[in-house]
Amino acid sequence: MTKNVRKAVFPAAGLGTRFLPATKSQPKEMLPLVDKPIIQYGVEEAHASGIDNIIIVTGRGKSAIEDHFDISFELEHLLEKRGKQKELDLVRKISDLIHVSYIRQKEALGLGHAVSVARELVGEEPFAVVLADDVIDAETPCLRQLKNVYEKFAGGVIAVMEVPKERISAYGVVAVEPVEFNGTKDRLYRVTDLVEKPPLEDAPSNLAIIGRYVLPPEVFDCLDRIQPGSGGELQLTDGLRLLMEQGPLYAYRFEGRRHDAGDKLGFLKATVEFALGRDDLGGEFREYLKELKL
Ligand code: G1P
């Protein structure tokens, strides 16, 4: 079977309750970090990792996502007429580079369910899952890092990072044993157990699952077998637990900086950091921040 990862599933049917009222009539995936919607960061990461088939699992009220990745004839025509080439390139760039399909998740039954909805579109090949709320700034795109592991070990691989003890219950958590990879034993692990949002005393480690996965198609049969778990939802983590019974599953402590853009404070921090990193805004913005009497 091919080890080539060509498709990425983006679950995007959530209600965005953490961002109300902003998300009452617009999807949280479309909230802009500086000037790009959150979801575009994930899509660009996939493209930079050699994954150009994007499958977005949407729900009610998410048509703005479809419009965003579509051609906007009127806008492009107007920009062309006015000679605004730079803006035109910005608008066209991403939709020219990728192929997007959409599928509806009719009910928000959980992340495991959202991924399983994409089964027909993924088919019998390995695929990535991207949780767009997790925006990852990295020299080598995080998905590319996971693909490298998948290509070598041919087993599912999950991105993980160390989080402080008091935050661990907000994540899926893995129990692991180290595996040698590229001359070190502190990046790649074999997963021996995983649990979704455990109470602190039950957390098997301080390694939290972050929203990037590369998975074999066998995970779909596993997802068909799961029962409602943490929060009464069908959890991807529980599907991965079943997958682990069939073959090795890996966790990769990726290199890069992750922002939780689905959280208000995380979103603000990401906005500040991305703005500071911009050539066109960073200088003046830095000066402005320095002037604030904090
Ligand atoms: C999801 C996953 C969880 C993971 C987290 C990372 O949870 O279920 O395992 O640690 O994303 O962002 P959510 O934050 O959607 O509740």
pLDDT, tens digit (0-9, with 9 covering 90-100), for 40-84: 999 999 999 999 999 999 988 788 999 898 888 888 888 989 999
User: Which has more pLDDT, 14 or 82?
Assistant: 82
User: Which has more pLDDT, 13 or 222?
Assistant: 222
Contacts of 162 (CB under 8 A, 6+ apart): 206, 207, 208, 253
| pLDDT recorded at residue 96 | 81
Nearest to 207 by CA among 239, 265, 252, 243: 252
One of 3.40.50.300, 3.30.420.40, 3.90.25.10, 3.90.550.10 is the CATH number of 7-262, namely: 3.90.550.10
pLDDT digits (tens, 9 = 90+) for 199-241: 999 999 999 999 999 999 999 999 999 999 999 999 999 999 9
| pLDDT recorded at residue 74 | 86
| pLDDT recorded at residue 90 | 83
Distance from the alpha carbon of residue 236 to the mean position of ligand 1, in angstroms: 9
Distance between CA 280 and CA 66 in Å, rounded? 28
To 10 degrees, what angle do helices 73-81 and 85-97 make? Answer: 150
- Percent of the chain past pLDDT 90, that is, above it, reads 80
Query: What's the rounded mean pLDDT across residues 151-163?
Result: 95
Task: Report which protein residue has its CA nearest ligand 1's atom 9.
Answer: 172
When mean pLDDT is compared over 3-7, 10-14, 138-142, the highest value belongs to 138-142
Query: What's the rounded mean pLDDT across residues 130-158?
Result: 96
Task: Report which protein residue has its CA nearest ligand 1's atom 11.
Answer: 211
- Nearest atom in ligand 1 to the alpha carbon of residue 230 is 8
Quote the mean pLDDT of the chain: 94
Distance from the alpha carbon of residue 211 to the mean position of ligand 1, in angstroms: 6
| pLDDT recorded at residue 97 | 83
Using the predicted structure, report yes or no on whether residue 117 has a pLDDT greater than 80: yes
| pLDDT recorded at residue 197 | 97
| pLDDT recorded at residue 1 | 58
Q: What residues line ligand 1, using a CB cutoff of 6 Å?
A: 111, 131, 134, 171-172, 196, 208-211, 235-237
| pLDDT recorded at residue 88 | 86
